[in-house]
Amino acid sequence: MKALTRFVFATALISSACTIQQADVPGLTGPSEYATAIRLTATPDTIRHDGVDSSSIVVSVADANGAPVAGAQLRVDIIADGGPADFGLLSQRTVSTGSDGRARITYTAPPAPPLNSPLDLCEPTNFSPSMLSGCVEIVATPIGTNFSGRPSQSVRIHLVPGSVITPPVDPTAPVAAFSITPGSAARRYIFNASASTAYPGRTIVRYEWLWGDGESAIRNAPNEDHDYPLPGVYPVTLRVTDDAGVTGSVTQVLPVN
């Protein structure tokens, strides 16, 4: 009898357990910063470090299903030398995506550094090698309710040195200009100064090259080649002199691998 009582009691417990219902978990309401995907592009991704060149940045936000998210708020920052910096100029610091899930801003390069200042090195990543001269990162972070959990994303822009033209004191001074192309041997480069122009009625009669490695050359023709002994970054200066004895100059920074 006791065994039958225990069996009935156990059966009742099992039956009651099977009728227990789990509480419903409410679904997420509104867009979640954890379920969004952020993507940044920069066009172009290489600009001159001259205070003028710019890159168009597009920030795209999509939900877990890949559909564009409209009205997403994001903060945009510049990262240079490993931390936030005002290195260049952003057209906006806070953006909101449109109906296409995109926001657009412009990054303008900072002014060129002094001619003889050391050049930065763009540190390598898993997807790109180390590059001469500096880089900046543009970082977009959603503006939400939990800073530590926001999925920031970034895009890298390479800043390359531009030409530095020394303003002539004499308005009749010749304008120096040259192009650089790789030669047939390793670390050999061909320099062409035929784009240099003299004041009307005058002629350029001398081309002086300062190669940036301690060597120089003076020629009466615009073309010249030079071999560099070691990899490095060299400021190459061309000084042109016309038949009136007036000079003009220009400097380009040449990365040699």
Determine the average pLDDT of the residues in 38-66: 89
Determine the average pLDDT of the residues in 8-37: 45
Q: Using pLDDT thresholds of 50, 70 and 90, give the confidence band for residue 20.
A: very low
Condensed to tens digits (0 to 9), the pLDDT of residues 65-74 reads 999 999 999 9
**Predicted local confidence at residue 133, as pLDDT:** 59
Q: Which of 256, 1, 5, 2 shows the shortest CA–CA distance to 132?
A: 256
Q: Which of 197, 120, 125 shows the shortest CA–CA distance to 159?
A: 120
Percent of the chain residues past pLDDT 90, beyond the cut:
46
Domains of the chain: 37-160 (2.60.40.10), 164-256 (2.60.40.10)
pLDDT at 25 over 50: no
Condensed to tens digits (0 to 9), the pLDDT of residues 105-147 reads 999 988 877 655 555 556 554 444 444 457 899 999 999 765 5
**Predicted local confidence at residue 205, as pLDDT:** 97
pTM (2 decimals)?
Answer: 0.52
Burial class of residue 166 in the structure, from the number of CB atoms within 10 Å of its CB (0-12 exposed, 13-18 middle, 19+ buried): middle
Q: What is the mean pLDDT of the chain?
A: 79
Question: What long-range pairs does 115-119 form, CB within 8 A, spacing at least 24?
Answer: 115/164, 115/235, 115/251, 116/235, 119/161, 119/233, 119/253
pLDDT at 153 over 60: yes
**Predicted local confidence at residue 255, as pLDDT:** 81
Condensed to tens digits (0 to 9), the pLDDT of residues 187-207 reads 899 999 999 999 999 999 999
